[in-house]
Amino acid sequence: MDSCDMDFLGEAITVARSSREHGNHPFGAILVDDSRHEVLRAENTVTTGRDVTAHAEANLVRLAWRTFTPEQLAGFTLYASTEPCAMCSGAIHWSRIGRVVYALSEEDLYVIVGSSPENLHLPCREVFARSVPSVQVEGPCPELDREARAVHAGFWR
């Protein structure tokens, strides 16, 4: 993970903050093309959209699939404020996005959230390990741990 990756992760965390300000869960995602230019961003809209599948990454995949070809997406990177859940990882696999980078791990998120029937403990690496073609995964990002956690502070309890 290089400084450019960390800059994009910082932007994903900014999107997560915006999502929270808009009344949704604090998750954000951005899509970066193979020239390292941001091309899309998406917030979580579960609450305002009344759709349990409207996670930031799933919303981003929907937009990306309408905008780019699978061949283009294979060279793109999805940056997520928090590790993609199993549902979003499946969507990323089917979209053929080639790389995922995330700031906060699912495990660390569940420590913040606490016990909940909504928790599905399945790290994205386990989903992507069965993905053909493979999806490259990097994360969590210790350098952004404090910032990634801060967006969740006080939200879940």
**DSSP bridge partners of 104:** 82
Whether 96 contacts 73, CB under 8 Å: yes
Distance CA 126, CA 114 (A): 22
Active site residue 57: yes
Q: At residue 72, what is the residue type?
A: Q
Both structure tokens of 96: 């053929």
CB atoms within 10 A of CB 132: 6
* Identified catalytic residue from 11, 43, 57, 106: 57
Active-site residue numbers?
57
